[in-house]
Amino acid sequence: MKFIHIADMHFDIPFTTLNKKELGNQRRLEQRKIFKEIIEYIKQNKVDYLFIAGDLYEHEYVKQSTIEYINNLFCEIPDVKIYITPGNHDPLIKNSYYATYNWNENVHIFKSKMEKIENENICIYGYGFDNFYKKDNELKNIEKIDENKINILITHANLDGLKNSEEEYNPISKKELIELKFNYIALGHIHKKTQYIQDNISIVYPGSPMSLGFDEKGEHGMIVGQINEENKKIDIEFIKLDKKEFVEINLDVSDINNEEELIEKINELNLEENKYYKIIFTGNRKFKINIYNIEKNIYNQNIIKIKNNTKIEMDFEKLKNENTLKGIFIKNMLEKIEKNPEKKDEILKVLEIGLNAM
């Protein structure tokens, strides 16, 4: 039995964090291309099942034309059984496309209650979101599974240990899953590929097929799994799909004397064409940094974001004694730090903003 496991495609996400509208449009086209590559792989490699563990699309933004594009691709693999568990970004609510659209007959969309589907010697369990939040999981509603068969669970969930404050997104634990003795647990929600394997039980996040921004660095793709129906041994392979990667570069400006020199430094960086870059300025600066002006004057279009994490280089102890507005302001701020040392970073930020304004 061969399957593909994906999650968190997020079709038609606006990509607002990328700062460039045209780049958002480009990435949405790349979403379509990557999804088509998945379908082509299925055609060429005799895949039996496609598991989509939530957040296939963005409920708030998805267009019907995108849904039709997805379903038309499903129609190209009529012999493949497709199982979808709605997630927190694409819940099965009254006006969702899961509820209103006529999906191809090889597509099964799980509802919010645990459901079991038996196919020959394989049992597939699944449940999804019927709202944008789900505080309780459905594992308690599983009867004892038939260990003579291959048992697979598909859901969109937060697994313990991955995040600290995600109790509203179908929280489950590895302990619960291992005790239920599923052979393979296909999860979605975490955009970084993550695998836990214990006693021939595989708990897997495939990660998002493509990176959605700088908080999703590294490789992105899909899981291809093969389960031996006799001994239930599972072979898992990760296949990279996204040709682009998001990379952050820290650039220390401490030894740079002016904005022109900084722009030259950025333009001299040796950057790769297949990567998107975020440049983060660090260190103590000697001049005012105008990010808008810098962005206008850099050559490499793959630099899509610049962030200023520098601190102003000043001798505050010397300047506070000046009989000027600046000196009085610095003196007042330093006194505030002495009285409220726990707020030092916050007050220094106010000090910096004030000095920039002056």
**What domains, with CATH codes, occur in the chain?**
2-240 (3.60.21.10), 246-357 (no CATH)
Phi, psi (rounded to 5 degrees) for 81? -85, 125
pLDDT in single tens digits along all 358 residues of the chain: 999 999 999 999 999 877 777 888 999 999 999 999 999 999 999 999 999 999 999 999 999 999 999 999 999 999 999 999 999 999 999 999 999 999 999 999 999 999 999 987 899 999 999 999 998 899 999 988 988 899 999 999 999 855 555 568 999 999 999 999 999 999 999 999 999 988 889 999 999 999 999 999 889 999 999 998 888 889 999 999 999 999 999 999 999 999 999 999 999 999 999 999 999 999 988 888 999 999 999 999 899 999 999 987 777 777 788 888 888 898 898 899 889 988 888 888 888 788 777 7
Question: Which position has the token pair 């650039």?
Answer: 251
Is residue 9 packed enough to be buried (19+ CB in 10 Å), middle (13-18) or exposed (0-12)? buried
Written as six digits, the tokens of 253 are: 């400006």
Residues in the chain: 358
Question: Which position has the token pair 């000043």?
Answer: 314
Written as six digits, the tokens of 345 are: 């970073």
CB contact set of 188 (below 8 Å; sequence gap of 6+): 7, 8, 52, 53, 54, 55, 85, 87, 155, 156, 157, 205, 206
What local confidence, expressed as pLDDT, does residue 161 receive?
56
What local confidence, expressed as pLDDT, does residue 166 receive?
55
Phi, psi (rounded to 5 degrees) for 21? -60, -45
Written as six digits, the tokens of 14 are: 């606006």
What local confidence, expressed as pLDDT, does residue 357 receive?
76
The Cα 16–Cα 213 span in angstroms is 10
